[in-house]
Amino acid sequence: MNYKEAIDFIHSTYKFGSKLGLNNITKLTELLGNPQNSYKIIHVAGTNGKGSTSNMLHDVLMEAGYKTGLFISPYLEEFTERIQINKKHINKESLAKITTLVKEKIDIMISEGYNHPTEFEVVTAIGFKYFEEQKIDFLILEVGLGGRFDATNVVRNTLVSIITSIGFDHMQYLGNTLEEIAFEKSGIIKDNSNVVIYPQEKNIINVLKKVALERNANIYEVNSDDIKKTKGDLTGQWFEYFKTSTFKIPELKINLLGEHQLYNALTALNALEVIKNNGYDITSENIQKGFASCRFPGRFEILSNHPVIILDGGHNYNGIEYFSKAIKEYFNDKKIILFYGMLKDKNPNDIFPLLLPLSKKMYTLTPNNPRAMSAFELADLIKIHSDINVSPVQNYKDILNIINDIDKDEIIAFVGSLYMIGEVRTLLMRNLFNKPCL
């Protein structure tokens, strides 16, 4: 295959749906020689915060001199974002070559009576093989959905598992209570391993700790009192870190905005302590440089200051809640012009009470996904809940004309599905700022 053929093949497997379970991925990775066993794994599950925490860890380990892989989903602008090493995406030639190999193994699976792997299983296998070929030291492995039966959970060589913030999302797969969802996420905890738990509600932590104790895992419960914000503006946040058992750091800066990102940073710091205490060389300077260089596009990302243009992939209740708090923190309750798009499996009745009071004017967009709610349907729903001025945008290119007509002292925010945010980011970067996408 060439690159285009590889991408076409990968996306063609979308029709096989999303099936939780490890039988297919276990067989596929066995046929590939179990590449996932050739490096140390940092496995990250959670409803929100996986990407931010993973990116911070990646940049610190890279600063420490380790060849560090990063596996994320979904991608924002380019498919190759999903598989990275030291901030460099998988090259197109390698993707094509490994996809060809994976397809050959899939053909063998099918001949032996196995089901065709899903798209996520195919991409996971491609990533594992690429990371093996590139001889990485660490893989920071972001769970796709849940944890217990997620394709990434075929791994066994786990140095530390991280459970970030847990909330309501994908309930049709994971359960209708936070305790049920937490149990699914806890599935990544391995026997006699280490688990770091983001600070959250006790009922969630109790579920995670129960599973960890049953598996004789060392539990590192992140304490929110170990961090204190010292200052912040639209360029970043500065904070003190009080837990000094391993690292002596006077002050740290992160570029990521919002209170929740401070706790994601704190979670990453706890994981780094575990890694260091397992014999790996990580210094306070590595942490300072790694945090200071880390950026995560599409997560309360400020693209422009005049007017202020924000991109935020908050797509579930907790994500929208974090967005709402950040708007109030940085803009003193000033009303915003909001572009919003969502998938049909999200609950607008939960999200609208957070978004509508922030907005003076709304535009709706259709995310680039088969599960998308159309801009027109979403606009009609908003009109039922509010008398706010709302207009559906049929063509993404119309966004450029709308922005050009908005006063420079306004705050413009794009929030919702990452399938929408990625497309908007590409459009704005190329046409307003004359910059390439990621």
Question: Domain ends where: 277, 293, 309?
Answer: 293
418 and 378 part of one domain: yes
Please state, for a pLDDT cut of 90, what percent of the chain lies above it: 87
Q: How confident is the model at residue 437 (pLDDT cuts 50, 70, 90)?
A: low
One domain for residues 150 and 200: yes
pLDDT exceeds cutoff 90 at 243: no
Q: Of 248, 271, 293, which residue constitutes the final position of a domain?
A: 293
Q: What is the mean pLDDT of residues 243-247?
A: 73
Is the same domain home to 273 and 327? no
For residue 74, pLDDT beyond 70: yes
- CA pair distance 362, 368, nearest whole angstrom: 19
**Residue 233 is encoded by which pair of tokens?**
């503006």
| Structural domain includes residue 22 | yes
Could you tell me where the beta strands, DSSP code E, fall in 154-206? 158-163, 194-197
Structure tokens at 29: 């990775």
**Is residue 254's pLDDT more than 70?**
yes
pLDDT of residue 247: 83
The answer on 274 and 331 residing in a single domain is no
Query: Quick one: residue 407, left, alpha or beta (phi over 0 = left, psi -120 to 50 = alpha)?
Result: beta
Domain-embedded: residue 328: yes
CATH code where residue 7 lies: 3.40.1190.10
Cα(400)–Cα(431) distance, rounded to whole angstroms? 8
Q: What is the mean pLDDT of residues 276-293?
A: 96
Residue 196 burial (CB count, 10 A): 26
Does residue 380 form part of some domain?
Answer: yes
pLDDT score at 244: 64
Secondary structure percentages of the chain, helix, strand, coil, to 5: 45, 20, 35
Same domain, 256 and 403: no
Is 33 among the domain residues? yes
Give Cα 145 to chain centroid, integer Å: 11
**Cα(28)–Cα(105) distance, integer angstroms:** 7
Range among 162-171, 264-273, 344-353 rated most confident: 264-273
In a shared domain, residues 289 and 338: no
**For residue 437, is it within any domain?**
no
Indicate the pLDDT class of residue 169, thresholds 50, 70 and 90.
Answer: confident
CATH code of residue 399? 3.90.190.20
Q: Say whether both 373 and 420 belong to one domain.
A: yes
Place of tokens 């209708």: 176
Domain containing 84 equals: 3-293
User: What is residue 297's DSSP assignment?
Assistant: T
**Where is the domain boundary, 293, 310, 335?**
293
65 with 196, same domain?
Answer: yes
Residue 438 lies in a domain: no
d(CA 43, CA 140): 6
Within-domain flag for 278: yes
Contacts of residue 370, defined as CB under 8 A and 6 or more positions apart, other chains included, come to 14
- The verdict on 202 and 337 lying in the same domain is no
Mean pLDDT within 24-30: 97
**Do 406 and 278 reside in the same domain of the chain?**
no
Taking a C-beta distance cutoff of 8 angstroms, is the pair 262, 191 a contact? no
CB 54 within 8 A of CB 70: yes
Amino acid at 180: E
Q: What domain count does the chain have?
A: 2
Same domain? 251 vs 336: no
What confidence tier does 10 reach under pLDDT thresholds 50, 70, 90? very high
Q: Please indicate, yes or no, whether residues 222 and 255 belong to a single structural domain of this protein.
A: yes
At 221, give phi and psi (nearest 5°).
-90, 115
Average pLDDT of the chain? 94
Q: What is the pLDDT of residue 349?
A: 83
Positions of E strands within 244-354: 252-254, 301-305, 308-312, 336-341
Q: What angle do CA 266, 191, 149 make, to 5 degrees?
A: 80
